[in-house]
Amino acid sequence: MSDETESPTYVDEGKEFTRDTNYIPDRITRDSEEWPVEPGRYRLIAAPACPWANRALIVHRLLGLEDVISVGRPGPTHDARSWTFDRDPGGVDPVLGIERLQEAYFARFPGYERGITVPAIVEVATGKVVTNDFPWITHDLATEWTEHHRPGAPDLWPADLREEMDEVMQRVFTEVNNGVYRCGFAGSQEAYEAAYDRLWTALDWLEERLTDRRFLMGDRITEADVRLFTTLARFDAVYHGHFKCNRQKLTELPALWGYARDLFQTPGFGETIDFEQIKAHYYVVHTDINPTGIVPVGPDPAVWEKPHGREALGGETIAPW
* Residues whose CB falls within 8 Å of the CB of residue 14, separated by 6 or more in sequence, listed in order: 187, 188
Q: How far apart are CA 277 and CA 169, in angstroms?
A: 26
Binding site as annotated, residues for glutathione? 83
- Measured CA distances, 25 to 28, 55, 69, 116, 131 (Å): 10, 18, 19, 14, 6
Helix (H, G, I), strand (E, B) or coil at 194: helix
Q: CB 107: neighbour CB atoms within 10 A?
A: 17
Binding site as annotated, residues? 83
Rg (CA), the chain: 19
Q: What are phi and psi of 89, to 5 degrees?
A: -55, 130
Please report the beta strands in 37-127, taking only residues with DSSP state E, as ranges in sequence order: 42-45, 70-72, 120-123
Catalytic residue among 181, 192, 282, 283: 181
Helix (H, G, I), strand (E, B) or coil at 228: helix
- Exposure of 89 by Cβ count < 10 A (0-12 exposed, 13-18 middle, 19+ buried)? exposed
Q: How far apart are CA 236 and CA 50, in angstroms?
A: 15
* Angle of CA points 308, 309, 315, to nearest 5°: 110
**239 belongs to the catalytic site:** no
**50 belongs to the catalytic site:** yes
Catalytic residue among 42, 50, 239, 245: 50
Residues marked as catalytic: 50, 181
